Amino acid sequence: MTSEPEPRVGVVVPIYNVEPYLEECLASIARQSVRELDVVLVDDGSTDASAEIARAFVGRDPRFRLIRQPNGGLGNARNVGAANVRGRFLAFVDSDDVLPDHALELLAGTLEETGSDIASGNVQLLTED
């Protein structure tokens, strides 16, 4: 019996009432140059259409999985995701974030090259302007 290789990056996305931002966030993860992803979406009791957006995305991309739970807060949602995700490296992406196409490749590559335990990317705040 052969087992599937471990994904290079496991991504956890906690979700709570982020309907206006979620589709763009998930699309940016799907576009990553790192193709070997396991993406766990944790819907933390959203009362808007966030869960439906996440479910539709899961139906389109087999690298994405959805866990739904009652609201337990951001830390709990991250912990649940981390306990259920697979990958050599672990990334947390907030559900209102948008990643550049090579972000996870650059971060994972930096960890592989340096042996560091943590890598962080640059952050730019986007406004209506």
Percent of the chain predicted with pLDDT > 70: 95
Which token pair is 9?
A: 């990056």
Contact 95/25 with Cβ under 8 angstroms?
Answer: yes
Residue at 119: amino acid letter = A
pLDDT at position 122:
81
Domain span including residue 54: 9-97
Q: How many Cβ atoms sit within 10 Å of the Cβ of residue 109?
A: 13
| Confidence band for 123, pLDDT divided at 50, 70 and 90 | confident
For residue 4, being part of any structural domain is answered with no
Cβ-proximal residues to 72 (8 Å cutoff; 6+ apart), any chain: 44, 45, 80
pLDDT at position 121:
84
CATH number at residue 44: 3.90.550.10
Q: What is the mean pLDDT of residues 101-125?
A: 92
Q: What is the mean pLDDT of residues 18-34?
A: 97
Rounded-to-integer distance, Cα 27 and Cα 11, Å: 13
For residue 119, being part of any structural domain is answered with no
For residue 117, being part of any structural domain is answered with no
For residue 70, being part of any structural domain is answered with yes
pLDDT at position 124:
74
Task: Classify residue 13 by its DSSP letter.
Answer: E
For residue 126, being part of any structural domain is answered with no
For residue 112, being part of any structural domain is answered with no
For residue 106, being part of any structural domain is answered with no
Q: What is the mean pLDDT of residues 86-112?
A: 96
Total number of domains constituting the chain: 1
Mean pLDDT of all residues belonging to the chain: 94
For residue 15, being part of any structural domain is answered with yes
Rounded-to-integer distance, Cα 49 and Cα 3, Å: 36
| Confidence band for 129, pLDDT divided at 50, 70 and 90 | low
Classify the C-alpha dihedral 50-92-26-98 as positive or negative. Answer: positive
Q: Tell me: the pLDDT tens digits for 40-79?
A: 999 999 999 999 999 999 999 999 999 999 999 999 999 9
